[in-house]
Amino acid sequence: MEIKKGIAVSPGIAIAKSLIIDSEDYLIPRRSIHSSQRRVEIQRVRNAFTDAIDELSQFQTEQETIEQRKIKDIFAVHLRFLHDRSLRKKITDLVYSESVTAEYAVSTTLREIASHFTKVRDAYISERAADIYDIERRLLRQLLGKKREDVDHLTEEVAIVARELSPTQTAGFSKRFVKGIASDAGGRTSHAAIVARSLGIPAVVALEDLTESVGGGDIVIIDGNRGIVIVNPDSETIHQYKQYSEEFAELEHRLDKIKQKPAIARDGVKITLLGNIEFPNEAELVLQKGGEGIGLYRTEFLYLNRPSEPTEEDHYQAYAETVSVFKHRPVTIRTVDLGADKYTQSKRFAPEPNPFLGLRSIRFCLQNLTMFKTQLRAILRASVLGEVKIMFPLITNIQESMQAKMILRDVMEDLDEESIAYNKDIQIGIMIETPSAALMASTLARDFDFFSIGTNDLIQYTLAVDRGNELVSTLYSSADPAVLRLIRTVIQDAHKAQIDLSVCGEMASDPEYIMLLLGLGVRSLSLAPPMIPEIKQIIRSVTIEDCNTVVRKILGMNSERQISNYLRDATRKILPEAF
Ligand code: PEP
Ligand code: MG
């Protein structure tokens, strides 16, 4: 039995057999197999070679233009390597002599050959190492690809274990079979974590080297409340966890009872609770969990898992479906926030050295106007179906916000000319998720109907901590006094300008921060649908005066640790089961 500590990102308990999946960089841990398994693994090596040869041969005949001739030559070299019997033998010998998996033998053998090439002084020869890595990846894709298919066609319950998961991969998991998720990389606000939370699948991330400790099929316990993963637990631990899991289910059941009651503090102050969604079919869940509308619809997820960009009609259908669930309650559609870890079109665009500081979000839209306008047209068309609001992400300065608004006006004029109906008074807002926008909030407030504070990015950019990097995850905190000061400024500026304000980052779904946010003056929160009942319970258990006291105490503290401990204690008194 081995206990690993990571970061809890999606609540709940999972006890299941592990299914290990890997991403494209193929970190293959050494895993021993039973001697009886060796024949199977050797056959897998042979099949991978055959499939890789077929794949490349097909490519050879497909490529007919002269420009492709060079690529064809390169692949001809790859094919020669793949036909080399001694290479195949070296790999299968390794499987046999050391009882290791096909993946491990392929990776080790090819990396060893590549390292010989790298050491050769001749530039031409040393560059051949890249070809060997390419061949390694092709073979591993064949080997792991089959496992990946397994994720799509699961027939039994599993706990997914991975080095790193992309939001796309996570969004494809079926809640029916995927009972839990654990990954080496990631942080609470990495998008894969956000998706896990939306799906209601217990998840722990930032486990650093978990993939090296788990073998496929090992039993694992994923404790998404405490941020713990237990590999090969003993029977006593399994028993305890089954009991704990039942108690947690009971809490959820109890919370379910209050979900249709209003989110009103004990002194009568009403708080609006909205849901964050990535897909239209989650709208129903928001309603079921007692949400009053959508405060953040992450529309970039429309771009995932599809070979081409969505059309205006694809956008429109998705928005119409969402609005139909809420009729005349707000649906806040955020324009696409592609880029950074939601870089879905890596094949089309060259990777950037610092993607979180690069061409992402509104910047990407402002440089891809056709795509941007297509989406804006669809949002405007859907605006006649209900209470649609439009929201621009990652604004960093006034010009950018004005440019986005100007393009929206252009699209409105186009629709006018075509006599297509839309809501001319549609509310237009921006996300405050960069320190520059927070500092300019009083000016920005003059031009927009509402702000939504995106704490996930605001924290990352204020503290210069990558939100998805487990190596710095302890530095990423909503309780940092610098972050709190910025949030306070934005709230005050929005109030002064009398515009609406909501918080839609993960801070709004974290029980510990609710009293603080209410005390700072927030009256609207948007969060992952499964978390709505728990947050409602906290709101219904406090008075705003209690929350003001919390803020007064905290404003006198300079240490993140002190603030965080204080908030945890205060919340524990209200909802001890959440801890
Ligand atoms: C945020 O940054 O807080 C936010 C809600 O946007 P996203 O998590 O999609 O970047
Ligand atoms: Mg953001």
Residue nearest to atom 1 of ligand 1 (CA): 454
Q: Is 365 a catalytic residue?
A: no
Residues 531-555: b if buried by 16+ CB within 10 A, e if exposed = bbbbbbbbbbbbebebbeebbebbe
CATH architecture of 258-578: Alpha-Beta Barrel (3.20)
Strand partners, 392: 430
pLDDT value at residue 347: 41
The domain limits of the chain are 2-22+163-251, 35-145, 258-578
Q: Residue 439: CA atoms inside 13 Å, Cβ hemisphere, count?
A: 8
CA distance 427 to 352: 34
Residue among 78, 191, 315, 547 flagged as catalytic: 191
For tokens 């398994």, name the residue: 37
Nearest CA among 205, 260, 226, 196 for reference residue 10: 196
- From the options 1.10.240.10, 3.40.190.10, 3.40.50.460, 1.10.274.10, give the CATH code of 35-145: 1.10.274.10
The answer as to CATH 3.50.30.10 being correct for domain 2-22+163-251 is yes
Mean per-residue pLDDT pooled into runs of 10, the chain (579 residues) = 90 92 62 88 94 81 56 77 93 94 91 80 69 83 66 82 82 89 88 86 92 86 92 94 90 86 96 94 91 96 77 97 94 93 53 86 95 98 98 98 98 98 98 98 98 97 91 93 98 98 95 97 94 94 96 96 96 79
Q: Residue 225: what residue type?
A: N
The phi, psi pair for 162, rounded to 5°, reads: -150, 155
Ligand 1 atom index nearest CA of 296? 5
Residue among 78, 315, 504, 547 flagged as catalytic: 504
CA 214 – ligand 2 centroid, Å: 33
CA 325 – ligand 1 centroid, Å: 23
For tokens 């654990």, name the residue: 182
pLDDT value at residue 71: 61
CA 332 – ligand 1 centroid, Å: 14
Chain CA centroid to CA 342, Å: 8
For tokens 């839209």, name the residue: 365
Specify the pTM: 0.75
Q: Is 253 a catalytic residue?
A: no
pLDDT value at residue 123: 65
- Ligand 1 pocket, residues with Cβ under 6 angstroms: 194, 296, 298, 337, 433, 454-457, 504-505
Ligand 1 atom index nearest CA of 452? 5
